[in-house]
Amino acid sequence: MSDSAAMLERSQDSELRKSRRAWYWLGAVLAAFAAGYLVYSQTTAFVWDEGFHLVAAQLIAWGKTPYIDFAFPQTLLNAYFNAGVLRAIGDRWQAVHVFDALFTIATIALAAIYVMRRFPEPRWRLACAVLTACLIGLNTTVVGFGPIAQAYGSGMFLLFTAYLLAVAKARGGSAWAAFVIALLAGAAAGSTLLTAPAVPVLFVWVLLNSRGSMRTRNAILFIAGVLIAFTPEIVLFVRAPQQTWFNVVRYQAMFRRVNWGDVGAHDFDVLTDWSASAETLLLAGFALLGLLYISKRSGWPRDVRREHYLAFAIALALGIYIATAHPTFGRYFIFMIPFLAILASAGFYHASTRLFDPERPFWPSALLVLVLATAAAKFLFDDRDATHWSDYEKIAAKIHEVTPQGQEYFADEMVYFLLKQQPPSGMEFSYSHKIELAAKEEALYHTISLKELKEQVAHGRFFTFETCKDEIMDDFELDKHYPHKQEFDDCTVYWR
């Protein structure tokens, strides 16, 4: 073997070892995220709204039909998935949390691996892949809402998987790729309508990457995939059109803002909170810088630049749509984060190579990861005294202790779930108490207004009453109707 051939072989071996080491390091980072999210999901992960999602899943597991047997103004795939988990593993919130944590972990891993494989600058691939994982996994919105029993984790995973398949199809996917892309994106929207704007973006992408007669076929396959994802809603609309329309459309369009106060002021606060969040400023700033850099960087492969443009288009469509929801909430923007993280890795590379030694990516990466880790640690520290599932387990135990068998009690949805009891009709979705409908409609949609609820309390319907809302305690005059009570931090259990 000649000297030049030997040197080439040694060089190739060295590059192979470096590549393996890079993948090992990325695997270690992803393993750390997996362990952290799984532990957090089983201990302190809790959001008040997941109560009605778990009650819905529990009722479905018991054979009840959403919309027809109880109010649930959400699309249904996530609820049916959770019902399957409860039926297979048991009626425990921990079981559902495991899967939501896994969905979140998978999203983090897929985004990091995508950057590791597709980032055009070899020396910066590991740094940008790790940074992408941290921009998602250390984001406090993802930490707080990814591993809980709502559709945030599953929605992120399904939508991002649809994106990965869409960009793979552009590089030569199978004939049925359009159908699977639509099925995944439709399933995300079928889990939560917050992801719905990504569906038309991906539809346009599929058509742009289809040739001639294939375009019509792919359009048909795409539409079919979306319709299949919405099979539960279509079937229920045929069976019960009024109830389905109320839960999927009418409630969202007319009743979400009822009794919310100044919705405009609330939305303004939410939409300007980014200005006080270092992690949001870093994510958005680097993403914008990445978009500008890619648009002017002729040296990057054209297909890589197009993939980043698609990520931006999806994030933009989601952002505009979510910003117009009234009321909107910061957690709704969680679905943008994986796509912005991909763009942000390019922006980080561009800024770092201008400010630091372009041959040494470690230190600028470590500095940014430290900032993100500090924000996540502060979030977890501040959340240590917040309400968790363990608090509601104590509340549920007290209600079980003081309520005689056969007597009705009123409680937050988490209590019904923990005690494995079907709520009285109208109690499955507490936000429905804010709206007032005609008696006939209330019976049809399984809702009950605060006014009627107050009258039922005055007439002694509930032997036990639990609430965490001061306004209900005062307006319902609970101290007058119930001689006994016990406080649990912000919540109180009243009984006769």
**pLDDT tens digits, one per residue of 188-246:** 999 999 999 999 999 999 999 988 778 889 999 999 999 999 999 999 999 999 999 99
Do residues 186 and 230 lie in contact, with contact meaning Cβ atoms separated by under 8 Å? yes
- 3 state SS of 214: helix
Each residue's pLDDT tens digit, 308-323: 999 999 999 999 999 9
Q: What pLDDT, in 10s, does the model give residues 153-166?
A: 999 999 999 999 99
Could you list the beta-strand ranges (E) of 269-326: none
Report H helices in 44-92: 50-61, 77-89
- Cis ω before 66 (30° cut-off from 0): no
pTM: 0.93
CA angle, residues 388, 391, 397, in degrees to nearest 5: 140
Q: What gap in Å lies between CA 264 and CA 262, rounded to an integer?
A: 5
Distance CA 443, CA 448 (A): 8
As a whole number of angstroms, the distance between CA 433 and CA 426 comes to 8
pLDDT value at residue 34: 97
Give 449's DSSP letter.
-
CA 457, 56, 331, 492 torsion-angle sign: positive
Q: What pLDDT is recorded for position 8?
A: 47
Tens digit of each residue's pLDDT, the chain (496 residues): 565 555 545 545 555 667 789 899 999 999 999 999 999 999 999 999 999 999 999 999 999 999 999 999 999 999 999 999 999 998 899 999 999 999 999 999 999 999 999 999 889 999 999 999 999 999 999 999 999 999 999 999 999 999 999 999 876 656 789 999 999 999 999 999 999 999 999 999 999 998 877 888 999 999 999 999 999 999 999 999 999 999 999 998 888 776 666 777 888 888 888 887 889 999 999 999 999 999 886 678 899 999 999 999 999 999 999 998 888 899 999 999 999 999 999 999 999 998 888 888 889 999 999 999 999 999 999 988 888 999 999 999 999 999 999 899 999 999 999 999 999 999 999 999 988 899 999 999 999 999 999 999 999 999 999 999 888 888 999 999 999 999 998 899 999 9
